Amino acid sequence: MSGGILDHRFDAIVVGAGMGGGVLGRTLTERGLSVLFLEKGRSGWRREETGLDLTSEDPVARLMFGAWPDPIEIDDGGGPRSMYAPLGCGVGGSSVFFAATLERPERHDLDDGWPVSYEEMGPWYDQAERILHVRGEPDPLSDVPCPNLQAAPPSTAADAAIMGQLRRNGQHPYRLHVALRYVPGCAECLGRKCPRTCKMDGRSAGVEPALATGRAALLEECEVLRLVGGPTRISAVEVLHGGEVRRLTAPRIILAAGALSTPRLLIASASEAWPQGCGNGGDLVGRNLMVHLNEMFAVWPRRGDATGAEGPSRAVALRDLMIRDGHRLGMVQSLGVDAREPEILHAFRQRMSRHALGRTRLAREWARVPAKAASRVLGTAKLFVGLLEDHPDPANRIVVDPGRPGQIICRYHIPEELQARRRLFRRGIRQAFRNLHPLFLNHAAEPNWGHSCGTARMGRDPATSVVDPTCRVHGLENLWIADTSVFPTSMGVNPSLTLAANALRVGSIIAGKAS
Amino acid sequence: MTTGPAVVTGADGALGRAIAIELCAMGRRVVGLGRRQPDLDATAARAGELFLGIACDIADPAETRHAFSELRRQVGPAEILITSPVEAPRRDILDETAESFTATVVAQLGGVMACTHEALVDMVERGEGRIMHIGSLADLDPVPASSALAVATGAVRIFSRTVVADLASRFPRIVVNHWVPGDPTPRIDGSEGMDAAQMARWGAKLALMRDPSLTGSLWNGHREMVRQVPLRRRIVLRLLGRQRIGRVIT
């Protein structure tokens, strides 16, 4: 089978079969081009319901379960430390595990800093909302029509109670935009693989429809090592597949390996033609790494308003805190999980682990007692998260260790400016959620590595950007990037809808040039 | 729930036969696998029309594959798989040969593996199913002259755990557990006494239970065996009212 794939000539190679690569590949095949997806992970079985495993440290098991096999290394100035990021590795990438939140950014999110205006992106957002079956309510603070937004199913009593209280607090909550089709038997697979074609992600709305056209093929367990080429063109993609290093060629190459890996591949492609790495003449590849900072908190609707028996609050969104006193903050949304004893326990343990004594096994066991007490007294809490926008900083970056080119290494520090905005954001959240007893579950800044972006930024000027407004790498005629690496700003909303809309846009540009 | 058959291996032996009869009496379609056609016929005679016997030596992977494709064709893919222990001769280790030992292990462990794998082919397509491996605790304190069988049945219990390790997080609705009939060590000698019938009822009931929390559980007779936890942890769990109490089949 794979021998056949490797002998076939494709119009385009897409590196990475996640949300960006999947949606872009689908667009190309629907416009008549043939596409080869290269995926480091496996496709797995369609009926899997795996959650994203952050605890297993066995790389073989992690790959089998669709998680990125290795820990990522992060140096915030205090020396490198390793952690497992919420990254998928398999068909659909991280998106098969995502909570299906697909939110539009605000007009100013793009118009301040992106080379593509909100106006230009509008039709692509519309199209993305259509193919991803997005459901929810229009944001009451926005004047942008969303013609393809479908109605959400009725609110749970808990959601209705929380939204009612927020309105009484003068806020403007609405039903979060989620990519769930609610087919019969829908179990709302937020945070885990969906066994039906119900949650719309890079697999169900990207790779699968692309394969269904008959013009696409998928090479799984295929690790891209580097790009090969001359000053103006990529001639081949060097891959490791089945224990063999080989070169695959196509007239068009699209990188969609994610903001942590795309720059790594570009830098690891350093050669005589590209001494600092492919597309890296301006030393910008890997720089301006951004994440969102998660401000996690629990709220307790008044007893009687919501019993909690009918499941977690999953669909409340709030954009009243996008900009405060001229500072960019971000949106607030429910996480779709209840804070029962284990979550509260985790929060207690996190707080305790800041002290040496709290890290002992005995202390960890005894933390169960206050956690139990808290959940008894307060009942079932609903978990929320505020997504705080991060600003580009050239010092925050992906670096490559030539001895370990496959290792994701981030240098990422949180500047005082961001800490100040955190304080403002948390104050705003406390105020907006008053009478709902908001309790913050993280004290230290918590970067959301699932929302990383910015490491191959888009711009008109090759001196300050890696790709042009069509997401083609400056100076290279056949290399495009279609993941969140190209985001010039991190925006105050979840990245997936913009990622998909941009992939549709770039796919249509590539297909248009081809015909 | 779908209406595929329950596949019972060793349906030509006492325990497999008793469970097949029990399941048929509960209205389930049962496919019985076994080497001896006359004994399968005897099971069929007592189990009734819902029983289909397919002669098959599960120690032979090709025969097993053929039997499963046959049952898929005739009554649909397996919804439940129950594997029984094989009957093996008691033999002094000094009388065993490497060949005779390996043959027993292959017949037991290899047979369970082959059937489980065939059943899983269909179950992962549907995302649901039920697998119960029947074993013994003979490996914990082996009686003399039981080396091959004790090793093989102990290995089947390990095999159950490895299946759970591979599948539980991906397919929570494929429920896999291990059942040891009787306590402390079963002596199912083919006589149809009250005990064998009671055990078969428990086994059949357990095999029909579909709660995902059963996955990875070990049952002895009608009781769930709960893993021992360290004393300190046990005290904390007791204080919190969260100690695990084994379930019971009534």
B233 touching A, CB under 8 A?
yes
Give the angle subtended at the CA of A157 by the CAs of A155 and A160, to the nearest 5°.
60
Burial tier of A86 (Cβ tally within 10 Å: 0-12, 13-18, 19+): middle
Is A48 a residue whose pLDDT tops 80?
Answer: yes
* Residue in A164, A102, A175, A176 with CA at minimum distance from that of residue A433: A164
What is the predicted pLDDT for the residue at A379? 64
Element containing residue A240 per DSSP (H, E): strand A234-241
Q: Do A45 and B170 touch (CB under 8 A)?
A: yes
The answer to whether A442 and A350 have CB atoms below 8 angstroms apart is yes
Nearest CA in chain B to A367: B236
Is A356 a residue whose pLDDT tops 80?
Answer: no
Alpha helix locations (H) across B78-110?
98-105
Closest partner CB to B171 (pick from A47, A365, A369): A47
Closest CA of chain A from B159, distance in Å: 17
Give the pair of three-digit tokens for residue A258: 């994610």
Task: Please check whether residue B127 lies inside any domain of the structure.
Answer: yes
Residues of A in contact with B236 (CB under 8 A): 365-366, 368
- pLDDT cut 90: percent of chain A above it: 77
**What letter represents residue A249's amino acid?**
T
Is A218 a residue whose pLDDT tops 80?
Answer: yes
The answer to whether A43 and A218 have CB atoms below 8 angstroms apart is yes
Q: How many Cβ atoms sit within 10 Å of the Cβ of residue B206? A: 23
The domain in which residue B60 lies consists of: 6-239
Q: Do A50 and B170 touch (CB under 8 A)?
A: yes
Q: Note the pTM of the prediction, 2 decimals.
A: 0.92
Q: How far is B182 from B187, CA to CA, in rounded Å?
A: 8
Task: Please check whether residue B248 lies inside any domain of the structure.
Answer: no
Is A49 a residue whose pLDDT tops 90?
Answer: yes
Q: What is the CATH number of the domain that holds B234?
A: 3.40.50.720
What is the predicted pLDDT for the residue at A155? 86
What is the predicted pLDDT for the residue at B192? 47
Q: Do B173 and A49 touch (CB under 8 A)?
A: yes
Each residue's pLDDT tens digit, A410-453: 999 999 999 999 999 999 999 999 999 898 988 889 999 999 99
Q: How far is A291 from A389, CA to CA, in rounded Å?
A: 8
Over range A454-459, report the average pLDDT: 98
What is the predicted pLDDT for the residue at A357? 67
Instruction: Count how many residues are written for chain B.
Output: 250
Q: How many Cβ atoms sit within 10 Å of the Cβ of residue B1? A: 8
Each residue's pLDDT tens digit, A180-196: 999 998 888 988 999 99
| pLDDT band with cut points at 50, 70 and 90 for residue A370 | confident
Is A142 a residue whose pLDDT tops 90?
Answer: yes
What is the predicted pLDDT for the residue at A375? 67
Q: How far is A65 from A63, CA to CA, in rounded Å?
A: 5
Average pLDDT taken over every residue of chain A: 91
Residues of B in contact with A47 (CB under 8 A): 124-127, 171
| pLDDT band with cut points at 50, 70 and 90 for residue A1 | very low
Task: Please check whether residue B245 lies inside any domain of the structure.
Answer: no
The answer to whether A339 and A381 have CB atoms below 8 angstroms apart is yes
Closest CA of chain A from B19, distance in Å: 30
Q: What is the DSSP string of B128-143?
A: -EEEEEE--STTTSPP
| pLDDT band with cut points at 50, 70 and 90 for residue A276 | very high
Nearest CA in chain A to B170: A50
Residues of B in contact with A41 (CB under 8 A): none
Closest CA of chain B from A371, distance in Å: 10
What is the predicted pLDDT for the residue at A369? 74
Nearest CA in chain A to B241: A372
State CA A115 to chain mean position distance. Answer: 21
Is B231 a residue whose pLDDT tops 90?
Answer: no
CA diameter of chain A = 70
What is the predicted pLDDT for the residue at B137? 87
**SS3 state at A296:** strand
Over range A157-169, report the average pLDDT: 92
Give the angle subtended at the CA of B79 by the CAs of B74 and B85, to the nearest 5°.
95
Please report, for residues A224, A298, B77, B192, the alpha-carbon distance to residue B196 in angstroms, rounded to integers and kept in the order given. Answer: 59, 54, 29, 6
Over range A462-478, report the average pLDDT: 97
What is the predicted pLDDT for the residue at B1? 45
Total domain count, chain B: 1
**SS3 state at A511:** helix
Count, in order, helices (H) and strands (E) of chain A. 13, 21
Which residue of A42, A43, A45, A47 is the best one to mutate when testing the B interface, meaning the one whose CB has the most B CBs within 10 A? A47
The answer to whether A406 and A70 have CB atoms below 8 angstroms apart is yes
Over range A138-152, report the average pLDDT: 94
Task: Please check whether residue B76 lies inside any domain of the structure.
Answer: yes
What is the predicted pLDDT for the residue at A383? 87
Over range A482-492, report the average pLDDT: 98
Give the pair of three-digit tokens for residue A398: 């992906």
Q: Which residues of A5-26 are buried (b: 16+ CB within 10 A; e: fewer)?
A: ebeeebbbbbbbbbbbbbbbbb
The answer to whether A206 and A19 have CB atoms below 8 angstroms apart is yes
Each residue's pLDDT tens digit, B54-75: 999 999 999 999 999 999 999 9
Q: Which residues of A369-389 are buried (b: 16+ CB within 10 A; e: fewer)?
A: eebbebbeeeebbbbbbbbbb
Lowest mean pLDDT among A54-58, A96-100, A254-258: A54-58
Each residue's pLDDT tens digit, A92-131: 999 999 989 999 999 999 999 999 999 999 999 999 999 9
Burial tier of A98 (Cβ tally within 10 Å: 0-12, 13-18, 19+): buried
Count, in order, helices (H) and strands (E) of chain B. 8, 8
Q: How far is A506 from A514, CA to CA, in rounded Å?
A: 12
- Contacts of residue A443, defined as CB under 8 A and 6 or more positions apart, other chains included, come to A350, A351, A354
Nearest CA in chain B to A66: B170
Q: How many Cβ atoms sit within 10 Å of the Cβ of residue A438? A: 20
Element containing residue A125 per DSSP (H, E): helix A118-131
The answer to whether A320 and A432 have CB atoms below 8 angstroms apart is yes
Residues of A in contact with B171 (CB under 8 A): 45, 47-49
What is the predicted pLDDT for the residue at A514? 87
Is A263 a residue whose pLDDT tops 60?
Answer: yes
Over range B138-148, report the average pLDDT: 91
Closest CA of chain B from A434, distance in Å: 32
B98 touching A, CB under 8 A?
no
The answer to whether B148 and B100 have CB atoms below 8 angstroms apart is yes
What is the predicted pLDDT for the residue at A362? 72
Is B133 a residue whose pLDDT tops 90?
Answer: yes
Is A372 a residue whose pLDDT tops 80?
Answer: no
Is A347 a residue whose pLDDT tops 70?
Answer: no
Is B246 a residue whose pLDDT tops 60?
Answer: yes
* Residue in B93, B89, B71, B88 with CA at minimum distance from that of residue B80: B71
| pLDDT band with cut points at 50, 70 and 90 for residue A512 | very high
Q: What is the DSSP string of A391-424?
A: ---TTSEEE--TT-TTS-EEE----HHHHHHHHH
Q: How far is B40 from B247, CA to CA, in rounded Å?
A: 33
Over range A139-153, report the average pLDDT: 93
Each residue's pLDDT tens digit, A287-312: 999 999 999 998 887 765 555 445 55
Is A376 a residue whose pLDDT tops 90?
Answer: no
Closest partner CB to B125 (pick from A47, A49, A365): A47
Q: How far is A25 from A254, CA to CA, in rounded Å?
A: 9
The answer to whether A28 and A235 have CB atoms below 8 angstroms apart is no
Q: Do A365 and B170 touch (CB under 8 A)?
A: no
Q: How far is A265 from A279, CA to CA, in rounded Å?
A: 11
**SS3 state at B107:** helix
Lowest mean pLDDT among A305-319, B15-29, B178-192: B178-192
Each residue's pLDDT tens digit, A320-343: 999 999 999 999 999 876 666 666
Identify the residue with better confidence: B193 or A229.
Answer: A229
Residues of B in contact with A366 (CB under 8 A): 236
Domains for chain A: give ranges and CATH numbers. Answer: 2-74+82-340+380-514 (3.50.50.60)
Over range A164-175, report the average pLDDT: 96
Q: How far is A386 from A292, CA to CA, in rounded Å?
A: 9
Strands (E), A28-184: 35-38, 72-75, 80-83, 173-175
Each residue's pLDDT tens digit, A17-34: 999 999 999 999 999 999
Indicate the Cα dihedral angle A223, A470, A130, A94, nearest 10°: 30
Identify the residue with better confidence: A383 or B60.
Answer: B60
Q: Do A365 and B126 touch (CB under 8 A)?
A: no
Give the pair of three-digit tokens for residue A436: 């709902």
Over range A64-85, report the average pLDDT: 93
B245 touching A, CB under 8 A?
no
Each residue's pLDDT tens digit, B172-189: 999 999 999 874 344 555
Which residue of B128, B170, B229, B234 is the best one to mutate when testing the A interface, meaning the one whose CB has the most A CBs within 10 A? B170
Task: Please check whether residue B247 lies inside any domain of the structure.
Answer: no
Q: Do A49 and B126 touch (CB under 8 A)?
A: no
Q: Do B240 and A372 touch (CB under 8 A)?
A: yes
Task: Please check whether residue B140 lies inside any domain of the structure.
Answer: yes
ipTM: 0.87
What is the predicted pLDDT for the residue at A459? 98
What is the predicted pLDDT for the residue at A353? 65
Task: Please check whether residue B249 lies inside any domain of the structure.
Answer: no
